[in-house]
Amino acid sequence: MWYTCTMSIGEFKSDKAARRYRATYAYVLDQVWPGPRTAVDVSTSFGTTRVLRVGPASAEPIVLLPGAGGNSLMWHGYVEALAAHRTVIAVDTVGEAGASTQTAPVADGRAGAAWLEEVLDGLEASAAHVVGCSYGGWLALNHQIHHPGRTATLTLLDPAGFADPGRRFYTWLIAGGLAGLAPRALRPRLARLVGNTAILDAELMRLGRAGVGFRRALPAARVLTDEELGRLTAPALFLLGERSTLHEAREVAARVGALVDTAEVEIVPGAGHALPTDQPALVAGRILEMAGRKGAGGTHAAGAGPGWCVPRSGPGRW
């Protein structure tokens, strides 16, 4: 998801709201997280960032960044598949409702990039395969732009930063929120109607309701310039929902293909902005494929050049 906010520091509206949310977070974590995990608190200039670490030790971990309004728990369905191969680090973005605590404002994309760099530094991740969903994708792109070299690869799931959200997106967002309040038996039908499969995750919907007492404090996902996109050097996979309400997928694909030499773009048929829940098996497979590549500065796909995306079987591959 994707929102704007004018608050400088993310915080709960009251102690009661904070206690309710933390209790719900702990309950949902125990309900949905598949197996053991290690919680790590990383100190940064912007506050303490909570991450959940799972899987075998590896020099190039998979780092998961949630969309706006989300946190590390949104990735619970991916943990087993990814952690079977690499260390997985799921992040509670500072400034969002979660287990992180913000102490200083994140003014813009450069500041968001600085925060992520400090998190990776604190985790001693010399190179990382960064996965960003929506707003998390925008943060990942900004990090690669301002801190080249730390990111081994990028996997960007319908990332923000390519269009200002319009009425269509906000209608989708509000409709999904209302559908998530409906009785559970009605949600499958409503999910199809509004095009948002995220509402089918009952426990995350429970957490989302508890999070209404949190004042989010992160900058809007400003549209990236051509010059900024041209500075991307890490191998990057842009996975775009064909029916995304955030932007026109084919316009994003054409722009990325023209500007980012190291990018592949895949438009996922039938999927919308809720791509991680629309096509979880496909997304998990693509994340692991990217994590299997050599990092920035290493080899890219044979024959890749400006605007070229390596073809695969099936529709939607650019």
C-beta separation of 85 from 93 below 8 A: no
Quote the mean pLDDT of the chain. Answer: 89
Taking residues 203-214, what's their average pLDDT? 94
Other CB atoms closer than 10 Å to residue 35's CB: what's the count?
9
Residue 310 has pLDDT above 60, yes or no: no
| Tokens at 77, concatenated | 């369905």
**314: region left, alpha or beta (phi > 0 left; psi from -120 to 50 alpha):** left
Backbone angles phi, psi at 24, to 5 degrees: -65, -40
Residue 65 has pLDDT above 50, yes or no: yes
Q: What is the pTM of this model?
A: 0.89
Coil, strand or helix: which one is 205?
helix
Cα 113 to Cα 94, 240, 286, distances in angstroms: 12, 22, 24
- Quickly state the pLDDT bin for 301 (edges 50, 70, 90): very low
C-beta separation of 178 from 186 below 8 A: no
- Give the pLDDT confidence of 79-91 residue by residue, as tens digits: 999 999 899 999 9
- Give the pLDDT confidence of 243-264 residue by residue, as tens digits: 999 999 999 999 999 999 999 9
Residues 48 and 311: their CA atoms lie apart, in Å, by: 42
